[in-house]
A = this chain, B = another copy of it.
Amino acid sequence: MATTAFAQLDPPSRMLLGPGPSTPHPRVLAALAAPTLGHLDPQFLEYMDDIQRLLREAFRTQNALTFAVSGTGSAGMEACLVNVLERGERVLVGENGVFGGRIAEIAERLGCDVTRVHAPFGEALDLDRMRDAIRETKPKLVAVVHAETSTGVLQSIPEISEAARSVGALTLVDCVTSLGGVPVELDAWQVDLAYSGTQKCLSCPPGLAPVTFSERAVAALRARKSKVSSWYLDASLLLNYWGGERAYHHTAPINMLYALREALLVLREEGFDAAFARHRACHESLMAGLMAMGLGSPVAPRDRMPQLNAISIPAGADDLAVRKALLRDYGIEIGGGLGALKGRIWRVGLMGHGASRSNVSAFLSALEEVLVRAGVAVERGRAAHAAASVWPYDK
């Protein structure tokens, strides 16, 4: 019986401008609380079909094997790797941030022979170095991160997938932070495997990982000599549930799947191009405001993604103290740096439903106040006007 008191659940409303989760769309939160159905209920199976079709639209692919892994984005990463890789096989990973490093780490745990092509955190991968390494190592799989959440760098994909295909390799792309925020064109780019997460530009809470496997990837899965080491993530078993047979594998996370379906509908109703333009406008507005304040980003303009913005921490500012003040006094969450960029950058996410002009404006204002209060030298009173001046929809 109760001997310790537990507070009633009452999470404060935050403006989630970190690297994810982003603030879910209200329709998505409402969908989460809809009545739970059984995982073999005919109505639920229809929703699963919808989710597969909507994910194909979002990923811009015809891949039959497109579904949501019952885990967060990193489970999607592991699901892609564990299904197509076997012990001793060669993998080439482009590593210019934490998530490229994670791909390499997982492939190594699977007993693969992993080659890493490094670029400094905050820079895109060098395409010539990637091409050379692909030709030299002739790997089974080439893996890169489309939108590196740890640095804010957007990576061009087609050059890499083309080089991979020229040596018969599969291409795997991490789309966790890109899907819904910037164009993702898996079929046009000839990408074989991709995974994403629900908690970034899809405006949905964390908990699911959309994944997709091309026919070439499915062929690699079918040609395996050994069983997939993970039963939970074995796509050949999941295929029997998400495909035509509806064979029970594990109990699907019903309510999270409602939320993902609703999130994809919200995105579709806005229109993908409109959503990309909104993310772009918020980013440009944010950067104009930051520059007017005297702040900048360590990422070169051509490598920046709109949905996750790296800001160089200015001289005299205490990383953690500023973030704590933003959260405590303004309810605004932003992220710190990871790995090599820890203590050097802040990460500001303008993702999905959170990519709004009002959020940009509120953040710039709060940041200026916090920095001024802490005695950090910034240009005062200019950010708001600068941010507004580049907002495209007023023109």
Copies of this polypeptide in the complex:
2
Cα of A33 to Cα of B25 in the assembled complex, Å:
11
Which residues from chain B contact A258 at a C-beta distance below 8 Å?
9, 11
Minimum CB–CB distance for A45 against chain B, Å: 12
Decide if A122 is an interface residue (CB 8 Å cutoff). Answer: no
Q: Are A268 and B33 in contact (CB under 8 A)?
A: no
Given A75-B232, A207-B253: A13 and B31 interface contact (C-beta under 8 Å): no
B9 touches A261 (CB 8 A): yes
Which single residue of chain B is at the shortest CB-CB distance from A107?
B231
Report how far A53 CA is from B6 CA in the complex, Å: 10
**CB-contact partner of A109 in B53, B197, B230, B338, under 8 A:** B230
Contact of A74 with B250 at beta-carbon distance under 8 Å, contacts A11-B35, A11-B37, A50-B6 already known? yes
Complex contacts, A21 vs chain B, CB 8 Å: 36, 38-39, 251, 254
The docked-state distance in angstroms from the alpha carbon of A12 to that of B24 is 24
Interface residues contributed by chain A, number (CB under 8 Å): 82
Chain A 250-262 interface mask (CB, 8 Å, partner B; 1/0) = 1111111011011
A16 CB contacts on chain B under 8 angstroms: 36-38
Q: A11 CA to B39 CA in the complex, in Å? A: 12
Identify the closest chain B residue to A323 (Cβ): B40
Check if A377 is an interface residue, CB within 8 A of chain B. Answer: no
Taking a contact as CB atoms under 8 Å apart, the answer to whether A265 and B6 are in contact is: yes
Let me know if A358 is at the binding interface, CB within 8 A: no
9 A-B pairs besides A1-B271, A4-B53, A9-B262 with CB distance below 8 A are: A6-B54, A11-B34, A11-B47, A74-B249, A78-B231, A102-B231, A109-B229, A206-B252, A230-B230
Which residues of chain B come closer than 8 Å to A13, judged between CB atoms?
Answer: 35
Given contacts A37-B11, A227-B109, A251-B197, contact A207 B265 (CB under 8 A): no
A94: B residues at CB distance < 8 A: none
Binding site for B on A (CB under 8 A): 1-2, 4, 6-7, 9-14, 16, 18, 20-21, 23-24, 29-39, 41-44, 46-47, 50, 53-54, 70-75, 77-78, 82, 102, 105-106, 109-110, 197, 199, 205-207, 227-232, 248-256, 258-259, 261-262, 265, 268-269, 271, 327, 333, 338
Shortest C-beta distance, A30 to chain B (Å), equals 6
Residues of B near A231 (CB, < 8 A) are 74, 78, 102, 105-106, 109
21 A-B pairs whose Cβ atoms sit less than 8 Å apart in the complex:
A11-B34, A11-B35, A11-B36, A11-B258, A21-B38, A21-B251, A32-B255, A70-B71, A71-B75, A71-B232, A74-B249, A74-B251, A82-B230, A106-B231, A109-B230, A110-B229, A199-B251, A205-B254, A205-B256, A207-B256, A253-B256
User: Are A36 and B20 within 8 A (Cβ)?
Assistant: no
Contact assessment for A38 and B206 in the assembled complex, using a CB-CB cutoff below 8 Å: no
- Least CB distance from A331 to B in Å reads 10
Contact of A251 among B20, B30, B37, B228 (CB under 8 A): B20
Smallest Cβ distance from A55 to chain B, in angstroms? 13
Contact A32 B33 (CB under 8 A): yes
Chain B residues near A250 (CB-CB < 8 A): 72-75
Q: Are A78 and B230 in contact (CB under 8 A)?
A: yes
Q: Which residues from B are CB-within-8-Å of A42? A: 327
